[in-house]
Structure 1
Amino acid sequence: MKLFFIVLISFLSLLQASKGFDFDEKELETEENVWKLYERWRGHHSVSRASHEAIKRFNVFRHNVLHVHRTNKKNKPYKLKINRFADITHHEFRSSYAGSNVKHHRMLRGPKRGSGGFMYENVTRVPSSVDWREKGAVTEVKNQQDCGSCWAFSTVAAVEGINKIRTNKLVSLSEQELVDCDTEENQGCAGGLMEPAFEFIKNNGGIKTEETYPYDSSDVQFCRANSIGGETVTIDGHEHVPENDEEELLKAVAHQPVSVAIDAGSSDFQLYSEGVFIGECGTQLNHGVVIVGYGETKNGTKYWIVRNSWGPEWGEGGYVRIERGISENEGRCGIAMEASYPTKLSSTPSTHESVVRDDVKDEL
């Protein structure tokens, strides 16, 4: 019974956080009212600030809350909210949460590698909408915290998806293993690229589970993968989607979740709440995410369903719908520039699964 109440309290806390934070226009009329609003926001998100930081953080909060208020009064297909990023500056946000420097790592790595093929090239028909969450191929939304490890979360989500599709088993995998062990080209909390992460998983015989190698948002740990037992999930390799082509990207997403990089550094993206994001963003790729589906609104606006790694209280339960099918070849926020996916051609289970199933056969 005690365990039940602990689980219930945790669920209610998460539910409350996911509802976001609402405010009334009257709370913006005076400096005193805005300060009370800031205190209420801090309590809602359990944010503590040192006393000497209070005035600076309040000034940032006031700027952001006014931006949210003005933006939401406009006729846009998306809304903003005072989320947990509301008292950090745009520069601080970019540095901590959109600082993976994907473009930088691509330049250092050179031309794209992989198998050299695109297995979905000859696909001629795809469903009008796809949502891999509904098909059970997506784990719960995770939180990279203030570590620039989005590349690891993007990689892992794509591997979790193809593993479920091929083996019919959804396993939450370890981002921390990539942060700790995939260090030849990727740089842990200082950013990275999904392509070498896919190569690392293939060349190292797979990746551990989240349960056996949990995330701690730190890149000062040594690699512990060889000393950890348990299940290991493997892939056969990876492929790239032809760049700057949303139609080709659509073919891939129709068959599996796909890792992509985007420019997530705008103020609107920082404070995004719901709707189809059509906000201003460039193509300076700085954040790794994964596309888990696509669809179209009743008024005909096409969108990608994108899983983020900033926790379930951001956006639509941790997701953002990004406009699809725009005139620019790169796609909204550069979403079609750096798309790749893992390949797992057989339904061969992980090593741990094989042992379990052989034991069952012996018993039968």
Structure 2
Amino acid sequence: MASWLTLVSLLVLLPGAASAPPRGAAGAQAWEPASPELLRPARFALETYNRGRVAEMRAVLGAVSGRVRQAGRGSLYSLKATLLEPPCNDPVMCQLPVSEKTLLCTFEVLDELGKHTLLRRDCGPVATKIADDKNGTFGSFFPLLNPLPQNFYMKMVSLFKDFITTYNRTYETEEEAQRRMSIFINNMVQAQRIQALDRGTAQYGVTKFSDLTEEEFRTIYLNPLLKEGLGKEMHPAKPVDDPAPPEWDWRNKGAVTEVKNQGMCGSCWAFSVTGNVEGQWFLKQGDLLSLSEQELVDCDTLDKACMGGLPSNAYSAIKTLGGLETEDDYSYHGHLQTCSFSAEKVKVYINDSVELSKDEQKLAAWLANKGPVSIAINAFGMQFYRRGISRPLRLLCSPWFIDHAVLLVGYGNRSDVPFWAIKNSWGTDWGEEGYYYLHRGSGACGVNVMASSAVVN
């Protein structure tokens, strides 16, 4: 491990230190100016961005740069682009102190056999001149809220040392340690900005993801396919007639297994679905079983294993396979393997799946009556979430850009602040022992956009 004297001596380089290259990017071409090959996916990304907008409010494409690498049967384009957007006249959506209407966007577009899919879209207002990317697109979104104190970097070194000890980090070279410390410091500034803009009671700061760039975090742990929202169609669930009780928590009713850990694999969709099926089986059969996510990662041919998936597809795969094995029989490894499903070992089956209401009160009533719910949310700020009830500005946590599947297990109030209780799949050393609490009301971060459940008769 790099010596701390060496790290301290490198502090003067931190403001200009480059972020670490994304993991898994080996073989990618360097960033290069726009070419016809890059313009095609860029125009597709622009078309997706403008979808649903009236003509006078559509953005136009400015500068484009990018790189491309092979991904399975297709090509993955990572693009940086400026979009020129007409002035915003909506006082609600224009509340941040940004006067320019030039956006800096990061897009990831997958081209498989000529079919484009938008895997990632991150846009934030910037000055008309493209910002230096060393701090990431996220940093350019926010104004610096307070000047940094003179001893800030020395305090960050101490905090970084504590982080390494707490999460047992090791780096192979001094150069890698320097890059990770630079990323860590930038992330602490970002966490401060998120903290200042949060309207709930959440606390943001050091987490086990604090030495990852935003791009690394999204690529490894989130699920870009959720943004597309396409998958197997489901019937709408029959609404529950009874009103939602003031509070409910299925953890107290024995319907929720322990928090699991998806590891460095974008398999949140599988954990969300197995959590739902575990609850449904418990309520119908009285037996709480920990079910196999690895079976879905390996054997669900509708989804893309660690590259993401959709709960609606996973339900269909469970029906096609004939059921789910338990965690004990088909253990989790966090990467794609050859399918080794055995029908003889199936312990749980489902009969169907249903899509739930987007009305939060009806969703709460269904949850209290029927069991934990598979949902997908916008994971804004979750990289740095520690505890409390998160309530980001709607502008920053759009319900239409969901990228993480989780399990809704209950709801309630803390000090008159309403919340949803959400079981995550990043282990118990994240959040409140693996749980995330999100403000309840107004479709916070998309909690009601893709709610669904298995049906067990």
Matched, 1:59 2:182: yes
Residues 126 and 251, structure 1, Cα contact 8 Å, conserved in 2:
yes
Q: 1:200 and 1:297, CA in 2 relative to 1: closer, same or farther beyond 3 A?
A: same
Question: TM-score scaled by structure 1?
Answer: 0.78
User: In structure 1, what is the equivalent of residue 388 of structure 2?
Assistant: 275
Alignment RMSD (CA, Å): 2.1
Equivalent residue runs for 1:56-205 within 5 Å: 56-69=179-192, 72=195, 76-104=200-228, 106-107=229-230, 109=231, 113-114=233-234, 116-119=235-238, 121-183=239-301, 185-205=302-322
Question: Any unmatched runs of 5+ in structure 1?
Answer: 1-26, 346-364
1:216 is matched with 333
Residues 253 and 293, structure 1, Cα contact 8 Å, conserved in 2: yes
In the alignment, the residues of structure 2 paired with residue 132 and residue 71 of structure 1 have an alpha-carbon distance, to the nearest angstrom, of 30
Preserved contact between residue 201 and residue 389 of structure 2 (Cα < 8 Å): yes
Distance 1:258 1:316 in 2: 19
CA displacement at 1:69 relative to structure 2: 4.7
Cα distance between partner residues in 1 of 2:164 and 2:434: 20
1:232 Cα deviation from its structure 2 partner: 1.7
Of 152-161 and 125-134, deviating more is: 125-134
- Higher-Rg structure is 2
In structure 2, what is the equivalent of residue 207 of structure 1? 324
Code of the residue aligned with 2:312 in structure 1: it is: E
Determine the C-alpha separation between the residues in 1 that align with 2:223 and 2:292: 21
Residue type of the alignment partner of 2:386: S
Please state if 1:291 is matched with 2:413. Answer: no
Q: What is the CA–CA distance in structure 2 between the aligned matches of 1:131 and 1:325, rounded to whole Å?
A: 17
- Mapped to 2, the partners of 1:239 and 1:213 lie a distance apart of 26
Confirm or deny: 8 A CA contact 1:147 1:217 kept in the other structure.
Answer: yes
Count of equivalent residues: 303
CA distance in 1, matches of 2:296, 2:150: 45
Task: Name the SS for the 1:77 alignment partner.
Answer: coil
| Residue 236 (str. 1) matches residue 351 (str. 2) | yes
Q: Shift in Å at residue 152 of structure 1? A: 0.3
Q: What letter is aligned with 1:149?
A: S
What is the Cα deviation at residue 37 of structure 1? 2.4
Please give the TM-score of this superposition, normalised by the length of structure 2.
0.63
Equivalent in the alignment of 1:307: 423
Residue aligned with 1:233, SS? coil
CA contact (8 A) 1:71 1:79 kept: no
Structure 2: where are the runs of 5+ without partners?
1-148
Q: Deviations over 1:286-313 (max 9, x none)?
A: 11111001112222x2211111111111
Higher normalized helix content (fraction of residues):
1
Runs of 4+ in 1 over 4 A off after TM superposition: 69-76
- Quick check: 1:100–1:288 contact (8 Å CA) kept in 2? no
Q: Match of 2:24?
A: none
Separation in 1, partners of 2:271, 2:224? 12
Identity of aligned residues (%): 36
Matched, 1:46 2:175: no
Q: How far 1:248 moved relative to its partner?
A: 2.2
Provide closer, same or farther for how the CA distance between residues 117 and 138 of structure 1 changes in structure 2, counting only shifts above 3 A: same
Match of 2:446 among 315, 334, 339: 334
